[in-house]
Structure formats: C-alpha cells, structure tokens
Homo-oligomer: A and B are copies of this chain.
C-alpha cells in the first residue's frame, strides 16, 4: 500500500469492506484500480449497509452525534485496513530507536479514546487509577510503550479498539446534540473547548497516526 493511498481520487479507488463499520470492522483493500465488488457480493452488501462513504445521520444517534459517528466509522475502517494481516513481530517492529511500533500506535488510539470518554462522559480531567494502569503506557507512547506494549497478535489490538469503541457508541446513544456542543467550563486553556471538538479530535487523531502506520508498514523489514 503506498503511503499516499488515501489521497487517490475516489474514482481511482476501489474498496471491498467485509463487515459493519463498528470497532470490529475489517476492511480489505484489493488495491487501486481493482474492480469494485459486484453489488450482489456479500462483502459489497456489507459495505453498502455500512455507508462508509456517506457522512450523515445514523439511526439511534442525534443528528450531530450520528454525523460524527459516520466520520468515526470511516476513519476506523481505514485504520483497520492499514494494519490488516500484520504479524506480532511486525506490530512490534521499531523503525528506529525513537519510533513507536505499529502495535503501540494502535493501542494509543484506544487509550486516547478512553481518555476522552473520561473527560466527556465522566467529567474527569484525567484517567483514574485503573485506566492509568491499563492505558497509561499506550497513552504516553515513547519509552513506556516500547517497554510494555509488545508481543501481542493483531487481535489483541483490534479487540481493545472494538471494546473501547463499543463504550463510546453506547454513551453517544444516551446523549444529544446539546451535550455534543457543550463547552468544557473546567478547561485550563484560554481557548474554549467543546465536546464536539474533543470527539472530532479522537477521529482525526486516528488519521494522524494512521498516516504514520502507513509509513511504517511500507518500511517493514522483508
């Protein structure tokens, strides 16, 4: 997969998506210029029901939350596509001594989502002790993650991502657009910050690190 794959004009891209675009989705990229699956294909049917390329409302969510969920679904599907088929050894590989492994970056995405769950669903300023014990190293990346986030198969990371995302979606279903627009009155920043920005950040933050994952994957040994 070229590092610039996601930038190809959509008319030159063709994806086959193999599952609903929740945290558990697996996405298969047959490669640029491959023919899209026929509409009768079960894979294509799943992709169509997921509507990964249609940003907009989603059943069970308020208008703005559902629209955000549609963005999060698409973005997650791209991350899952980027890491498809990686071995434990590849997930642990360090491009250079300062690099983060792909596995650590994946767990970092889950950790970040847990952090924003705490700040937006539970109105806390940081992880609690249990969260810090489980997610602290992945949240920090760098030395802490290089030392402790390793030796896992891909399923370990995908399960963590799916588990955390399921919590996010369950909480989103209980909330409305007024909650999403709410400004954090306790933020230490001079700038105003709202829940919508925080969850958009969780989403675009996946793209940020997925750019790194694509770069690192394309330079794996062998």
Q: Is the CB of B15 within 8 A of A189?
A: yes
Q: Is the CB of B212 within 8 A of A53?
A: no
Is A198 part of the binding interface, using a Cβ–Cβ cutoff of 8 Å?
Answer: yes
Q: Is the CB of B205 within 8 A of A208?
A: no
User: Which residues in chain A, 1-48, are within 8 Å of chain B measured between CB atoms?
Assistant: 2-4, 6-7, 9-11, 13-15, 17, 36-39, 41, 44, 47-48
Cβ-defined partner of A207 (8 Å) among B3, B140, B207, B215: B207
Cβ-defined partner of A56 (8 Å) among B71, B196, B205, B214: B196
Is A59 part of the binding interface, using a Cβ–Cβ cutoff of 8 Å?
Answer: no
Contacts of A160 in B (CB 8 A): none
Interface range for A: 35 or more
Q: A10-B193, A36-B189, A71-B204 are in contact. List 12 more A-B contacts (CB 8 A).
A: A3-B141, A7-B141, A7-B209, A10-B187, A10-B198, A48-B190, A52-B197, A56-B181, A67-B196, A74-B200, A208-B210, A208-B211
Is A90 part of the binding interface, using a Cβ–Cβ cutoff of 8 Å?
Answer: no
How many angstroms from the CA of A126 to the CA of B12 in the assembled complex? 10
| Identity of the chain B residue whose Cβ is nearest the Cβ of A7 in the assembled complex | B112
| Identity of the chain B residue whose Cβ is nearest the Cβ of A8 in the assembled complex | B139
Contacts of A217 in B (CB 8 A): none
Cβ-defined partner of A36 (8 Å) among B56, B96, B181, B190: B190
| Identity of the chain B residue whose Cβ is nearest the Cβ of A4 in the assembled complex | B141
How many angstroms from the CA of A64 to the CA of B98 in the assembled complex? 40
Q: Is the CB of A39 within 8 A of B190?
A: yes
Contacts of A44 in B (CB 8 A): 190-191
Q: Is the CB of A100 within 8 A of B56?
A: no
Q: Is the CB of A119 within 8 A of B190?
A: no
How many angstroms from the CA of A128 to the CA of B119 in the assembled complex? 47
| Identity of the chain B residue whose Cβ is nearest the Cβ of A181 in the assembled complex | B56
| Identity of the chain B residue whose Cβ is nearest the Cβ of A192 in the assembled complex | B54
